[in-house]
Structure 1
Amino acid sequence: MLPGLKAGFALDARLEADSDQLMWLGLCELRVMNDRRWPWLILVPQRPDVEEIHDLTPLDQAMLTFETNMVAQALKRVTGCTKINTGALGNIVRQLHVHVVARNEGDPGWPGPVWGHGLREPYPRGKLHEFAERIKAAL
């Protein structure tokens, strides 16, 4: 079993296909969305069969809030963005996961949401690794 992986937990195949593992936090696996249009991180609580934040225990809810804030602050420091978008929609991928996206006026789709805007543009492999290392250092 990988470090931090909770018994019975399995990552949704769509999250695995669209993002790369960055690191383990206390509750969540932190992943990088492989879309170079926006610096975009995803927190996935390592709890089986959880779809909504209110499905978590109160302690896990507090931990998710703490980890989301920590990741958002690191992303803002690394990117210098003007706005952080945070969301847990789950309309397509039901497994609970929280998106943390760095936004700037004039970026693709501004001021609208990133979901459903155009086609994903994967990072060149070295650039994804470089971004991931900068986030790790900021955390």
Structure 2
Amino acid sequence: MSDFVLDPRLERDSTLLMKLGLCQLRLIEDSRWPWVLLVPQRSGISEIFDMTPLDQTMLTFETAITASAVKQATECLKINIGALGNQVRQFHLHIIARNEGDPAWPGPVWGHGEARPWTRDARSEFTERLLEAL
């Protein structure tokens, strides 16, 4: 893992919350949605099939526990999970809490309006709930 380097755009747009077994868990800097990323700490990965079978299994496990924790921490209606990679090629997985009436409901969150930074208190409260749920 020593050769892993986070894409500068992911680093700019998110904050590291913790390192799991395979992935970095990162909070997206947009308070409109509780939105986290899982970024496998492997170099040269742009697609899930670029990963070893063991890493794919670990990613599945970390995705399930993270998505469950986000749902528990937010009491949201729906969890969206996606890996697009059209703008940032480094493989990363989005986990987003969604509710009816949120700013983009029922459409996708990508490209919708302007990001709103987290307040320190809101970030701390969400992070605490999420990490407790994990």
Give the TM-score, by structure 1 length: 0.94
Q: Contact 1:35–1:120 (CA<8 Å) still a contact in 2?
A: yes
Match of 2:106 in 1: 111
RMSD of the TM alignment (CA)?
0.7
The CA deviation at 1:23 is: 0.5
The CA deviation at 1:126 is: 2.7
Partners in 1 of 2:54 and 2:101 — Cα distance?
38
Give the TM-score, by structure 2 length: 0.98
Q: Contact 1:34–1:128 (CA<8 Å) still a contact in 2?
A: no
Match of 1:53 in 2: 48
Work out whether 1:12 is the aligned partner of 2:7.
yes
The secondary structure found in structure 2 opposite 1:29 is: strand
Partners in 2 of 1:126 and 1:45 — Cα distance?
28
The secondary structure found in structure 2 opposite 1:108 is: coil
Mapping 1:39-50, distance limit 5 Å: 39-50=34-45
Percent identity of the aligned residues? Answer: 61
Match of 1:3 in 2: none
> How many residue pairs align between the two structures?
134
Match of 2:129 in 1: 134
- Which string of whole-angstrom CA distances, capped at 9 and with x for unpartnered residues, describes residues 71-118 of structure 1? 000000110101000000000010000000000011011111010001
Residue segments in structure 2 that go unaligned for 5+ positions in a row: none
